[in-house]
């Protein structure tokens, strides 16, 4: 049974990564850029500019809980621009954690 559970987890994780990549591409990349550099096509029209997830300083200046809160409740909830909408309001806690982990893959 334990091996079955482990096998299922093993099989599920690449799919989960594919899901989170699709979520990012569909909901975030237009502003934050395909590689997370804050340079998506819609970014030109925005002030302030969307956060740059490839910038290591972004990750040292805030914790995961703040990043998660910004996605779930919007930029205004963490003292940032309301142009960052509460896009994660309908996501589960696990989905939000996955998204935060995914954003970190852009870090250089």
Specify whether the CB–CB gap between 28 and 41 falls below 8 A.
Answer: no
Q: How many CA atoms lie within 13 A of 27 on its CB side?
A: 18
Count of positions on this chain that bind ligand HEC (CB under 6 A) = 24
| Binding residues among 76-95 for ligand HEC as defined by CB under 6 A | 78, 80-81, 83-84, 87-88
**Whole-angstrom Cα distance, residue 33 to residue 41?**
7
Q: Which residues bind ligand HEC (CB under 6 A)?
A: 27-28, 30-32, 42, 46, 48, 50-51, 62, 66-67, 70-71, 75, 78, 80-81, 83-84, 87-88, 99
């Amino acid at each position: 049974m334990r091996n079955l559970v482990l096998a299922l987890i093993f099989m599920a994780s690449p799919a989960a990564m594919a899901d989170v990549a699709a979520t990012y591409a569909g909901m975030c990349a237009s502003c934050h850029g395909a590689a997370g550099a804050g340079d998506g096509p819609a970014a030109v029209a925005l002030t302030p500019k969307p956060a740059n997830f490839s910038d290591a300083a972004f990750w040292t200046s805030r914790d995961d809980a703040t990043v998660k809160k910004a996605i779930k409740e919007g930029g205004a909830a963490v003292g940032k621009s309301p142009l960052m909408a509460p896009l994660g309001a309908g996501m589960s806690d696990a989905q939000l954690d996955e998204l935060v982990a995914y954003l970190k893959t852009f870090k250089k």
